[in-house]
Amino acid sequence: MEIKKASKKEAKLRIGLSGASGFGKTYSALLMAYGMTEDWSKICVIDTENNSASLYSNLGNYNVIDLQAPYNPEKFIEAIKLAENSGMEILVIDSISSEWQASGGCLDIHEKLGGRWQDWAKVTPRHQSFIDAILLSKLHVITCVRRKIEYSLDTDSNGRSKVTKLGTKEQTREGFEYELTVNFEIINENHLAKSSKDRTGMFSNKPEFVINSSTGVLTPIKQEYYSKFRLLFMRLIFSLKLDACPGSISLLV
């Protein structure tokens, strides 16, 4: 146990990307990851979307772990550990929706146990172990989540039934967003995104934008790196100016 100064470089980012199918989650996640590390070889994608991550291999030589059904929590945890032990820096999980609702995922496991309320006592610890593997990972993690339109069947004042659109909902267990550093929602086919949660203060209350590698540069980790670089650069320039002036006092900022 020790006391140490807080530093952004010590924190590992947990970034969420959600959106409907075809809105550009995978592509956006890859560009953001590159902006954070500037080294494609340090990026790994856990792909559950029928090898969709490999469609963008022209971007750079990033790494892929292809997962196939059953999409149980333990398989995701194994893939996360593999990425950690392989010297990666950024992990993209595309998508965590498969762990929740695809074949072999938590909803499927619950159904096969009988679908009773008490059966969640066996499923929830397995799902929580998956969430813990993300939160405790020594890598920066970007998670992709599918969104689905939610509807309700209501009755109007005349007694007629009507369908009401409630909006979109992330296809994973409710509450995952609270675990994230930043959560972006891609809202349309033009790939426009907005932040629905932002602990960094860098993206909240900003106009909608298209996620690219510059978004990764804006993350706190990169900002601290560039701040240190700028400080060293200024020290170098100041030192050169002093050396160029005979009799000057050697003083660095």
107 or 4, which is more confident?
Answer: 107
Burial of 244 (0-12, 13-18, 19+ CB in 10 A): exposed
Mean pLDDT to the nearest integer, 208-228: 70
Task: Give the residue with greater pLDDT, 100 vs 250.
Answer: 100
> What's the alpha-carbon Rg for the chain, to the nearest Å?
23
pLDDT of residue 158: 72
Which pLDDT belongs to residue 1?
87
143: its two tokens = 């998670």
Highest mean pLDDT among 101-110, 191-200, 211-220: 101-110
Average pLDDT value for residue range 108-137 = 97
In this structure, the strands spanning 182-186 and 161-170 are: unpaired
Share of the chain above pLDDT 90, in %: 62
Tell me: pLDDT of 39 over 80.
yes
What tens digit of pLDDT does each residue of 174-214 get? 999 999 999 999 999 999 999 999 988 888 888 999 999 88
Residue with tokens 């939160």, as numbered in its chain: 135
pLDDT, position 214:
83
- In percent, the amount of the chain with pLDDT more than 70 equals 78
Paired with 198 in beta bridges are: 182
Residue 236: predicted pLDDT: 47
pLDDT of residue 218: 67
For range 80-104, the mean pLDDT: 97
Find the helix packing angle between 73-85 and 120-135, rounded to 10°: 20
The burial class, CB within 10 Å (0-12 / 13-18 / 19+), for 168 is: middle
- Encoded amino acid at 242, one letter: L
Residue type, 252: L
Average pLDDT for the chain: 84
